[in-house]
Structure 1
Amino acid sequence: MRYRKGDGERSGLFTRRALLLGGAQAVLLSALAGRLYQLQVIETQRFATLAEENRINLRLLPPSRGLILDRTGQPLAVNRNNFRAMATSDRGRGVDVLVDRLDQIFSLGETEKNRLLRDLRRSRNAQPVVVRENLGWEEVARLEFNAPDLPGVFIDLGQTRDYPEGELMSHIIGYTGRVSDEDLAGRDDPVLQLATMRFGKKGMERALEDSIRGRAGAVQVEVNAVGRVVRELDRTEGQPGANALVTIDLDLQRFVAERIKEHQSGSVVVMDVITGDVIAMVSTPGFDPNTFARGITQAEWRELLDSSERPLHNKAIGGVYPPGSTYKMVTALAALESKAIEPWTRLPCPGFLMLGGIKFHCWLKSGHGSTNVVEAITQSCDCFFYEAARKAGIDRIADVGTRLGFGRHSELGLPGESTGIQPSRSWKQEKLGKSWQHGDTFNIGIGQGFMNATPLQLAIMTARIANGGYEVQPNLLLASATPREELVPPKPRDKPTAPSLRFNPQHIALIREGMVNVVASGTAHHLRLDANNKLIEPQYRFAGKTGTAQVKRITERERAMGITQDQLPWHLRHHALFVCYGPVDNPRYACAVIIEHGKAGGATAGPIGRDVLIEVMKRDPSRRTDGFRKMASR
């Protein structure tokens, strides 16, 4: 065979290409080997750590919520075991089938199904979500029987809130619920992101949330490639929340609730005039907070919202009413402090006063004749206070009313408290765009017109008059302590530490004298006798002031026709009010009572105030701490 020159050239070209390709392969193999060396030798520790982090998950454990007890140590909010169904998903895969199967077991309903679908799809790192809480034994058994067909579903033992007193303490203690976006505002506690976490929504549960929530624990678990838990590696329990002792005396609270239950709607507040401790606070009707703890249904929620008696509304702090004649102490004090009247000043009462062609009636048609300030309080003479208000002027009345607690929030700390309305010239101009009129002053002089107040504010006013003019603030928290600390009530106090309101002591004494005479010989003289028609013992004598707040103005025609309150529909009848304090010689407790549409303060609210105040004076919870029961350790 002949050797051709072209064949040699082609052979050389092939050899060069082979060398280039081989060199390129060698470079690539060297780079790959270098990278493998870097990953497996140089950075082996780093990637081992990353692999370990992917294999091991750190999950938060919800802490045990702190207990809430009354001033004697009786439980008001505690924790109980809660069996709940939990579910996880593989990054949202298969959730539709899973939820359909759970619906067959629990009859979830459309709302719960949609919520569960949303939570499962949002869940990260296979974080479990709640399917249903407070499972009964039958539901647990049904779930366990179907477990093979429910991948990622398991039963968890947690805690839920329990309220032993139910409706009795509902407005004070409140309830807990699922954490909302609003609850997260301003809080960076990661435990609030847990599906099983509960947050205080109302009452002391809300007011004490940050202290009784506790601190989260943690558990280390080994997970597989899709985030499912394989086993638990380590666990650190959380720190339980602080336990709280509230100022309420549970036995007295029961007494008040029993005394007021015959009425459709009303409220009672009892305060210590020295410390400001709220000893009892009842608002009727109430609600059962345990329905929220177990998970309230749509039907139950709608029933509460639609009720005309507003059971969710704490009337003691959020209900606003014209204070009526209970406000006459403010008018009297304003007139005395401004020197518009003197203690001996006498003003006439012919049964009515005329102002610009409008007749302003006194409750006593024949009139009270000539009265001074003490006599006017004793007999609740409207005409005296019309004229006293006119002489003092709205500016002075508004100033004294504000100092006695009207038109502003107190320091109680419960959510939902109303400021009421303490009218003034600037208030009317700002809210209504109108100037103040003399008729407005007449109305506010007897606690009507634009004036509105809560039962708590009436109790505050009475307490500040009773203690000699000190700015005592209402208080619901008696003491708090971590579970490792001893929870005990503070030592009793006999002198106010609040600042003075700088009223003339002689003027305060005149107001108190008038209130003493109200019960001794005035509009509430029938309250000198107890419920058994026996004269009240001297150590339990008390002072008070009746009030009847107008809901519907009786026209001249209706007055001439003799239409009475009993003939009006319930919702148009007057509100009945009574404020009181005792004992007379050494005041310690103040009480305010409002019975919605109760018609007359002396007849309806007065006996309730008498019975409640006598009971609290007999118990004397502020001075007697021997009934305190130390909480057993958890």
Structure 2
Amino acid sequence: MRRSPADSEKSARLITRRGLLLGTAQLAFAGVLVGRMRYMQLEQADEYRMLADQNRINIRLLPPARGLIFDRKGVLLAGNEQNYRIVMVREDAGDPEAVLDRLGKLVWLDPAETEKALAEMTRRSPFVPVTIADRVSWDDVAEVAVNAPALPGVSPEMGLSRVYPLGADFAHIVGYVGPVSDYDLDRLEDPDPLLQIPRFQIGKTGVEADYESALRGSAGTSRVEVNAVGRVMRELTREEGEQGASVQLTLNHSLQNFCEARLAGESAAVVIMDSRNGDILAMASAPSFDPNKFVRGISSRDYSALLEDPYRPLPNKASQGIYPPGSTFKMVTALAALEDGLIQVEDTFTCRGFVEVSGRRFHCWSRGGHGKVDLVRSLRESCDVYYYELSQLVGIEKIAAMARNLGLGIRHDVPLGSVAEGLIPTRAWKREVRDAEWLIGDTLNATIGQGYVLASPLQLAVMTARIASGTQISPRLVRAIDGVEQPVHGQVPLDIDPVHLEAVRLGMYEVVNGARGTAGSSRVVAEGLRMAGKTGTSQVRNITAAERARGVTSNDDLPWERRDHALFVGYAPHDVPEISVSVVVEHGGGGSTAAAPIGRDVLLAALYDDVPPLSAYPASQRGTIRSRLEALDLRAPQAPSEGRSRA
């Protein structure tokens, strides 16, 4: 049926209106689109250009070279060595597990380390490079570089790793570094961004830990261009970081090595100080361990062996170990009594082998007694009864005050992390800690360095240096930082009458050089180098009345762990003191037989700055001494390092 002209005209008008509406809408949409494009291309051009650049340019932190550590002669104790490693950036890798699977077909990867790296990637920013393999060979680096297109996000790098060229000699003092842990990060309120780099090395123990902020340095930056698959195309700019500070210690590397060698086979510690300024010249703790193993990642087997060793190689016995000081404490009691005016040097007490107090016998080491004993003889022959009598006059409070005056019961400020405070007991201490009242027997035990009294070899060395010098000298372990000399503390006179100090020094001289001195077999005969000292033997077990009645069991007949500790403190030359020493041999038996010979050897090594000559020893001992010195496992002398430092 044909439409009428009117209907056709009406339909045409309707179509025209719809077309106009549709055309108008299309024009409006096109206008908005053109306007938006113009806005984005002109008005926001800088912003989108920056976003595009950031998408292809990565900014990476460059770890700085760690500061170097030297001995007093400039010999390198802790340095840096170059090593190659393989790293991965998670965002550039896409599928890290697939990429690692391909990488594992080219170079050997430790499965445990691979799992650790994957875990690190999930915890760290996707832009942070994570170490996949460390200390790889040059061949492995070349293999990765050749296959780079198939390994997105993977790249070889050359970095620095810590190395300790003198190995075990300085493990307890210098310490070691290790990868940053979550525990390390949790301890810091505002951690350095460098610490977010996986496996970044920081100090864990010793000087490395205490001077971490100075040794770490500051980070550099590198701007690199990467392609679509994350491969680094080129480095655009590079700003190197600032190397950490150089730290020079007061230690003498050859003396330290001599001490470690002399203590071989023992569980022992030695501290050697310069009596004039407090410089610690050597601080040895035996046995030791190789800190390089911790830097590279110590095996479970090696670590278990260190933990299970009954001689405990990991703790620094010289600063952390605390022991009953035994008879080396007698100088403290003597000075407390002299200073309080309770006795004169020539006053005597009678030793019958024991004293009886409150129905209990306190025995002297000499079962038959010493007879009449004055101050000098009490030190020379180490009479216990003399000090039992003395203690009842002076009391524990004045003994404790003198002990602190001489550096005991004090945590000395040396950068070794764990430094023992020791224990100098008082009445208040016992009430607070033991919830008990102080007894007269406690005083008698304390006065000969037993009972509750505890001291570290470091503290005993400080005590000896203060007696020898007459000053409040304090130990110093760091000599300079970036060439800036560190201050010496305590070079002011002790608040002790010099006459009283001289009387005690005379007694210590007699210990080594007197006819009946307990350390007479360890005397020095070199002119001008004669030594003064004091032996000590501290019990680690109770001796019952029944055992005394039948005869005290010899240390040689006891298991090692039940034997007495052996101690010795000394200084030389006796008339113009330069060097002070303390020695503790755990379960060594007697101070005169186990500790004093070591003390003499290391003290002479410090005075001569070399292996002691045989002429320094009594002629009758030279054959034995020659054999002992020749058997020592000594390092060849080291030349000062030419390693780069900031100084």
Aligned residue runs from structure 1 range 357-368, under 5 A: 357-368=359-370
Residue by residue over 1:549-571, the C-alpha shift from the partner in whole angstroms, topping out at 9 and shown as x without a partner, is 10112222223333211100011
In the alignment, residue 194 of structure 2 is paired with which amino acid? V
Cα distance in structure 1, aligned partners of 2:302 and 2:148 = 31
Counterpart residue number, 1:401: 403
Find the partner of 1:305 among 307, 312, 316: 307
Cα distance in structure 1, aligned partners of 2:106 and 2:429 = 59
**Contact 1:90–1:226, Cα closer than 8 Å, also in 2:** no
**Contact 1:523–1:602, Cα closer than 8 Å, also in 2:** no
Counterpart residue number, 1:572: 562
Post-superposition shift, 1:407? 2.0
Cα distance change, pair 417–558 in 1 and its aligned pair in 2 (3 A):
same
**Contact 1:62–1:196, Cα closer than 8 Å, also in 2:** no
Counterpart residue number, 1:235: 238
Aligned residue runs from structure 1 range 303-382, under 5 A: 303-382=305-384
Post-superposition shift, 1:364? 0.8
1:585 is the counterpart of 2:588: no
1:498 is the counterpart of 2:488: no
Cα distance in structure 1, aligned partners of 2:96 and 2:435 = 59
Counterpart residue number, 1:558: 547
Counterpart residue number, 2:259: 256
Cα distance in structure 1, aligned partners of 2:21 and 2:438 = 103
Find the partner of 1:510 among 500, 503, 507: 503
Cα distance in structure 2, aligned partners of 1:101 and 1:174 = 39
Cα distance in structure 2, aligned partners of 1:396 and 1:198 = 48
Post-superposition shift, 1:537? 2.2
Cα distance in structure 1, aligned partners of 2:256 and 2:84 = 33
In the alignment, residue 301 of structure 2 is paired with which amino acid? A
Post-superposition shift, 1:32? 2.8
Counterpart residue number, 1:293: 295
Cα distance change, pair 349–12 in 1 and its aligned pair in 2 (3 A):
farther
Cα distance in structure 1, aligned partners of 2:358 and 2:310 = 39
Post-superposition shift, 1:60? 1.1
Counterpart residue number, 2:529: 540
Question: What secondary structure, in the 3-state scheme, does the structure 1 residue paired with 2:566 have?
Answer: strand
In the alignment, residue 442 of structure 1 is paired with which amino acid? L
In the alignment, residue 536 of structure 2 is paired with which amino acid? G
Post-superposition shift, 1:267? 0.7
**Contact 2:175–2:208, Cα closer than 8 Å, also in 1:** yes
Question: What secondary structure, in the 3-state scheme, does the structure 2 residue paired with 1:540 have?
Answer: coil
Post-superposition shift, 1:275? 1.2
**Contact 1:462–1:580, Cα closer than 8 Å, also in 2:** yes
Aligned residue runs from structure 1 range 62-81, under 5 A: 62-81=63-82
Count the aligned residue pairs: 614
List gaps (5 residues or longer) in structure 1: 482-486, 531-535, 622-626
In the alignment, residue 405 of structure 2 is paired with which amino acid? R
Post-superposition shift, 1:350? 1.3
Post-superposition shift, 1:526? 2.1
In the alignment, residue 604 of structure 2 is paired with which amino acid? I
Residue by residue over 1:423-475, the C-alpha shift from the partner in whole angstroms, topping out at 9 and shown as x without a partner, is 1122222222212111111111010111111110100111111111x221111
Cα distance in structure 2, aligned partners of 1:391 and 1:196 = 61
**Contact 1:349–1:370, Cα closer than 8 Å, also in 2:** yes
Post-superposition shift, 1:152? 3.5
**Contact 2:474–2:490, Cα closer than 8 Å, also in 1:** no
Question: What secondary structure, in the 3-state scheme, does the structure 2 residue paired with 1:309 have?
Answer: coil
Post-superposition shift, 1:53? 2.5
Counterpart residue number, 1:451: 453
Post-superposition shift, 1:372? 2.4
In the alignment, residue 352 of structure 1 is paired with which amino acid? F
Cα distance in structure 2, aligned partners of 1:219 and 1:466 = 57
Post-superposition shift, 1:603? 1.1
Counterpart residue number, 2:218: 215
Cα distance in structure 1, aligned partners of 2:236 and 2:321 = 54
Residue by residue over 1:583-607, the C-alpha shift from the partner in whole angstroms, topping out at 9 and shown as x without a partner, is 1111111100011111000111001
Counterpart residue number, 1:155: 156
In the alignment, residue 153 of structure 2 is paired with which amino acid? G
Question: What secondary structure, in the 3-state scheme, does the structure 2 residue paired with 1:519 have?
Answer: helix
Cα distance in structure 2, aligned partners of 1:397 and 1:108 = 63
In the alignment, residue 159 of structure 1 is paired with which amino acid? L
Cα distance change, pair 112–568 in 1 and its aligned pair in 2 (3 A):
same
Question: What secondary structure, in the 3-state scheme, does the structure 1 residue paired with 2:173 have?
Answer: helix
Question: What secondary structure, in the 3-state scheme, does the structure 1 residue paired with 2:60 have?
Answer: strand
Cα distance in structure 2, aligned partners of 1:99 and 1:421 = 56
Cα distance in structure 1, aligned partners of 2:395 and 2:297 = 54
Post-superposition shift, 1:305? 1.9
Question: What secondary structure, in the 3-state scheme, does the structure 2 residue paired with 1:330 have?
Answer: helix
**Contact 2:519–2:534, Cα closer than 8 Å, also in 1:** no
Cα distance change, pair 5–354 in 1 and its aligned pair in 2 (3 A):
farther
Cα distance change, pair 36–331 in 1 and its aligned pair in 2 (3 A):
same
Cα distance change, pair 389–28 in 1 and its aligned pair in 2 (3 A):
farther
**Contact 1:247–1:278, Cα closer than 8 Å, also in 2:** yes
Q: Structure 1 residues 314-323 or 16-25, which shifts more? A: 16-25
1:52 is the counterpart of 2:53: yes
Question: What secondary structure, in the 3-state scheme, does the structure 2 residue paired with 1:319 have?
Answer: coil
Cα distance in structure 2, aligned partners of 1:432 and 1:620 = 49
Counterpart residue number, 1:439: 441
Question: What secondary structure, in the 3-state scheme, does the structure 1 residue paired with 2:533 have?
Answer: strand
Cα distance in structure 2, aligned partners of 1:38 and 1:128 = 37
Find the partner of 1:192 among 195, 199, 203: 195
**Contact 2:457–2:583, Cα closer than 8 Å, also in 1:** yes
**Contact 2:152–2:230, Cα closer than 8 Å, also in 1:** no
Cα distance in structure 2, aligned partners of 1:63 and 1:613 = 40
**Contact 2:513–2:523, Cα closer than 8 Å, also in 1:** no
Cα distance in structure 2, aligned partners of 1:307 and 1:587 = 38
Question: What secondary structure, in the 3-state scheme, does the structure 2 residue paired with 1:40 have?
Answer: helix
Cα distance in structure 1, aligned partners of 2:409 and 2:12 = 107
Counterpart residue number, 2:622: none
In the alignment, residue 586 of structure 1 is paired with which amino acid? V
Aligned residue runs from structure 1 range 422-437, under 5 A: 422-437=424-439
**Contact 2:571–2:603, Cα closer than 8 Å, also in 1:** yes
Cα distance change, pair 396–497 in 1 and its aligned pair in 2 (3 A):
closer
Post-superposition shift, 1:23? 4.2
**Contact 1:460–1:473, Cα closer than 8 Å, also in 2:** yes
Residue by residue over 1:242-265, the C-alpha shift from the partner in whole angstroms, topping out at 9 and shown as x without a partner, is 22221111111122222221x421
Cα distance in structure 1, aligned partners of 2:497 and 2:174 = 39
**Contact 1:351–1:364, Cα closer than 8 Å, also in 2:** yes
Residue by residue over 1:196-233, the C-alpha shift from the partner in whole angstroms, topping out at 9 and shown as x without a partner, is 52101111211222112222111110123565433211
List gaps (5 residues or longer) in structure 2: 612-637
Cα distance in structure 1, aligned partners of 2:50 and 2:294 = 45
In the alignment, residue 357 of structure 1 is paired with which amino acid? G
**Contact 2:509–2:531, Cα closer than 8 Å, also in 1:** yes
Counterpart residue number, 2:520: 526
Identity %: 42
In the alignment, residue 275 of structure 1 is paired with which amino acid? N
Question: What secondary structure, in the 3-state scheme, does the structure 2 residue paired with 1:431 have?
Answer: helix
In the alignment, residue 574 of structure 1 is paired with which amino acid? D
Question: What secondary structure, in the 3-state scheme, does the structure 2 residue paired with 1:315 have?
Answer: coil
Post-superposition shift, 1:138? 6.6
Cα distance change, pair 423–103 in 1 and its aligned pair in 2 (3 A):
farther
Cα distance in structure 1, aligned partners of 2:142 and 2:48 = 44
Post-superposition shift, 1:16? 5.3
Cα distance in structure 1, aligned partners of 2:100 and 2:159 = 22
Question: What secondary structure, in the 3-state scheme, does the structure 1 residue paired with 2:425 have?
Answer: coil
Counterpart residue number, 1:624: none
